[in-house]
């Protein structure tokens, strides 16, 4: 018998070498000419050197479609394991057939079973056209039909709240290629390169008669600023991949673990007099809440989520003495920090993510309450505001709040500072105002006629406003009757108080509440 073992090994090496080249030199060159990285180059940049282990490299090889247009497996990011796939547009355009979909599906399954994050690098036009399918390559054909691109939403849903799921949109993705990312926890996009839409510009033109460019219909700016579908946009692929690395540093591998503790040599001083200088004494003058956040967090580092969408609400990750926390803050610079339809969605979704993955929540409060008007009411502010109440009431992670300057009426509900909503520790600066209405509105309501009839209306208005503030808007006075208020603190103590509170709540028992299948959040 002739020994052909060496020939088989040589053949295997040659086959794998060809598979590594994707769709061939011409298509590789075309990808680079667009200024885009290849599927494997993206993996090489994102993952620790030499850590990637690939599965099913040779699927589709006999059909001249190595990997069936996707590279999948696992690797390490900063020494922590992730399951990952990277769609390859040089092979059948990156379109999703059954084998391609199987590899996506299996990557999510592996992430659930191994208890590690899932990262999807998306660059696909969607489902494979019938003329491109071969035997065993259709969307639902063969034995892999149960685990295909058409059913990848099932493991995505099973993984939700179990392991973090992060998507990068790195090309023009449509149809099925956007629904899986939409089920992920975070979506990142590249400006002027990434697109997401259910139907592309050509279909919109044919059906609706509208002429829209890819960017106008579903570009990164649209989804980061208008729709809120995406969470961050970046100027290049490498910046985006760096963003994924940074985000993962704040997150645990799965819902059973706590977030990693980071030792930071740039810890800020525990007390800081700059807090007092940032906030104007007048309750309706704007200031940037980011400045407060930077002074609170270790090293002034804050990884903001959806920074361009619903700017009246700020959410994101940072650390207090090395511990990851989720920041939820009103932004007086935008819509006066009012609570809105979009801001409520942003706030509720972020808090639910934090609660799923053991991340304590810190609320920094300065809001005049819900934004009034027909537009907000007709857009369903009641329903969207109820999402926030639901998220607050179902959350079991440690939760602290600081009333920075004011909170009126429904703002006390939406920011979780009334008794019984489950916020563990509520603090207030001594200069903060609370009440059903602000002092100006209350004085106008109660004394408007008297002021209008006075000889010096403005003098009487100032007098009544001062009296109202002294009697009803003074948190020191409020602390004598409001048991939800843990303490009145000096602004300079804010960081120190939050760190001490976090340490106290570290071993808080997380009661899951009344047994049930799941609640019915007012979506």
pLDDT-based confidence at residue 437 (cuts at 50, 70, 90) = low
**Cβ atoms < 10 Å from Cβ of 375:** 11
* CA-derived radius of gyration, the chain: 27
Q: Are residues 42 and 70 in the same domain?
A: yes
Q: Are residues 359 and 499 in the same domain?
A: yes
CB 198 within 8 A of CB 216: no
Domain count, the chain: 3
Q: Would you state the structure tokens that stand for residue 458, as one six-digit string?
A: 């403005």
Residue 288 maps to a domain: yes
Question: What span, in angstroms and rounded, lies between the C-alpha atoms of 100 and 153?
Answer: 14
Q: Would you state the structure tokens that stand for residue 334, as one six-digit string?
A: 């935008």
pLDDT-based confidence at residue 149 (cuts at 50, 70, 90) = low
Q: Are residues 26 and 97 in the same domain?
A: yes
Residue 292 maps to a domain: yes
Residue 285 maps to a domain: yes
CB 251 within 8 A of CB 324: yes
Residue 261 maps to a domain: no
Q: Average pLDDT in the 422-444 region? A: 81
Q: Average pLDDT in the 139-149 region? A: 54
Q: Are residues 228 and 359 in the same domain?
A: no
Q: Are residues 228 and 371 in the same domain?
A: no
pLDDT-based confidence at residue 449 (cuts at 50, 70, 90) = confident
pLDDT at 473 over 90: no
Q: Average pLDDT in the 384-396 region? A: 95
pLDDT-based confidence at residue 136 (cuts at 50, 70, 90) = very low
Question: What span, in angstroms and rounded, lies between the C-alpha atoms of 94 and 412?
Answer: 49
Measured at the alpha carbon of residue 122, what is the angle toward residues 149 and 182, in degrees to the nearest 5?
70
Model pLDDT, residue 518: 86
Per residue in 313-348, pLDDT (tens digit) is 999 999 999 999 999 999 999 999 999 999 999 999
Beta strand extents in 52-181 (DSSP E only): 53-55, 70-77, 80-87, 118-122, 165-169, 172-174
Q: Are residues 283 and 180 in the same domain?
A: no
CB 152 within 8 A of CB 181: no
Higher pLDDT, 281 or 44: 44
Residue 430 maps to a domain: yes
pLDDT-based confidence at residue 434 (cuts at 50, 70, 90) = confident
Per residue in 77-108, pLDDT (tens digit) is 999 999 999 999 999 999 998 899 999 999 99
Model pLDDT, residue 427: 96
Q: Are residues 130 and 233 in the same domain?
A: yes
> To which residue do tokens 């053991």 refer?
358
pLDDT-based confidence at residue 135 (cuts at 50, 70, 90) = very low
Q: What is the DSSP letter of 300?
A: G
Using DSSP's 3-state secondary structure scheme, residue 160 falls into coil
Distances (CA, A) of 66 to 90, 278, 407: 10, 58, 59
Range of the domain at 356: 274-437+474-504
Q: Are residues 114 and 101 in the same domain?
A: yes
pLDDT averaged over every residue in the chain? 89
pTM of the model: 0.92
On the 0-12 / 13-18 / 19+ scale of CB atoms within 10 A, 136 is middle
Question: What span, in angstroms and rounded, lies between the C-alpha atoms of 352 and 348?
Answer: 6
Q: Average pLDDT in the 385-409 region? A: 95
Q: Are residues 239 and 217 in the same domain?
A: yes
Q: What is the CATH number of the domain that holds 490?
A: 3.90.226.10
Q: Are residues 50 and 181 in the same domain?
A: yes
Residue 492 maps to a domain: yes
Residue 424 phi, psi (nearest 5): -70, -45
Q: Is the dihedral of CA 360, 366, 368, 370 positive or negative?
A: negative
Q: What is the DSSP letter of 339?
A: B
> To which residue do tokens 């980061």 refer?
224
pLDDT-based confidence at residue 480 (cuts at 50, 70, 90) = low
Per residue in 188-217, pLDDT (tens digit) is 999 999 999 998 888 888 898 889 999 999
Model pLDDT, residue 148: 65
Residue 87 phi, psi (nearest 5): -70, 145
Q: Are residues 309 and 223 in the same domain?
A: no
Model pLDDT, residue 439: 64
Using DSSP's 3-state secondary structure scheme, residue 463 falls into helix
Higher pLDDT, 408 or 504: 504
> Nearest to residue 112, comparing CAs of 257, 255, 258?
255
Model pLDDT, residue 142: 46
Residue 90 maps to a domain: yes
Residue 137 maps to a domain: yes
Q: Are residues 243 and 302 in the same domain?
A: no
Model pLDDT, residue 146: 63
> Nearest to residue 119, comparing CAs of 170, 68, 69, 154?
170
């Amino acid at each position: 018998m002739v020994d052909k073992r060496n020939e088989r090994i040589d053949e295997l090496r040659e086959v794998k070498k060809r598979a590594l080249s994707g769709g061939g030199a011409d298509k590789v060159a075309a990808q680079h000419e667009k200024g885009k990285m290849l599927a494997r180059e993206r993996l090489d940049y994102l993952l620790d050197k030499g850590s990637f282990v690939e599965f099913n490299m040779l699927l589709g090889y006999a059909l001249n479609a190595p990997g069936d247009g996707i590279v999948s497996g696992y690797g390490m990011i900063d020494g922590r394991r992730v399951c990952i796939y990277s769609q390859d547009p040089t092979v059948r355009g990156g379109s999703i057939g059954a084998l391609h979909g199987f590899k996506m599906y299996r990557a999510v399954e592996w992430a659930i079973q191994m208890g590690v994050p899932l990262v999807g690098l998306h660059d696909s036009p969607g489902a494979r056209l019938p003329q491109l399918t071969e035997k065993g390559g259709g969307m639902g054909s063969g034995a892999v039909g149960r685990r295909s691109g058409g059913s990848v939403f099932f493991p995505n849903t099973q993984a939700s709240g179990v392991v973090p799921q992060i998507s990068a949109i790195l090309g023009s993705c449509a149809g099925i290629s956007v629904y899986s990312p939409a089920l992920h926890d975070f979506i990142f996009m590249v400006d002027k390169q990434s697109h997401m839409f259910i139907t592309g510009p050509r279909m919109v033109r044919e059906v609706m008669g509208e002429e829209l460019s890819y960017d106008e219909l579903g570009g990164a700016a649209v989804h980061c600023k208008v729709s809120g579908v995406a969470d961050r946009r970046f100027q290049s692929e490498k910046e985006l991949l760096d963003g994924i690395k940074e985000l993962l540093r704040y997150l645990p591998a799965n819902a059973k673990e706590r977030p990693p503790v980071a030792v930071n040599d740039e810890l800020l001083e525990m007390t800081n007099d700059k807090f007092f200088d940032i906030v104007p004494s007048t309750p309706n003058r704007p200031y940037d809440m980011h400045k407060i956040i930077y002074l609170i967090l270790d090293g002034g580092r804050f990884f903001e989520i959806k920074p361009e969408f619903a700017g009246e609400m700020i959410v994101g990750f940072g650390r207090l003495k090395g511990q990851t926390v989720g920041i939820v803050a009103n932004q007086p610079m935008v819509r006066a920090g009012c609570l809105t339809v979009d801001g409520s969605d942003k706030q509720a979704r972020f808090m639910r993510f934090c609660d799923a993955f053991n991340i304590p929540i810190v609320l920094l409060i300065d809001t005049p309450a819900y934004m009034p008007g027909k537009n907000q009411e007709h857009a369903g502010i009641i329903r969207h505001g109820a999402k926030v109440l639901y998220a607050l009431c179902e959350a079991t992670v440690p939760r602290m709040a600081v009333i920075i300057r004011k909170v009126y009426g429904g703002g006390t509900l939406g920011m979780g500072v009334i008794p019984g909503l489950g916020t563990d520790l509520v603090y207030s600066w001594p200069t903060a105002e609370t009440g059903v209405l602000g002092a100006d509105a209350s004085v106008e309501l109660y004394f408007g006629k008297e002021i209008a009839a006075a000889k010096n209306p403005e003098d009487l208005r100032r007098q009544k406003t001062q009296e109202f503030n002294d009697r009803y808007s003074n948190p020191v006075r409020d602390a004598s009757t409001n048991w939800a208020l843990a303490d009145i603190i000096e602004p300079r103590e804010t960081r120190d108080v939050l760190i001490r509170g976090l340490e106290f709540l570290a071993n808080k028992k997380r009661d899951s509440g009344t047994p049930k299948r799941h609640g019915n959040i007012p979506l």
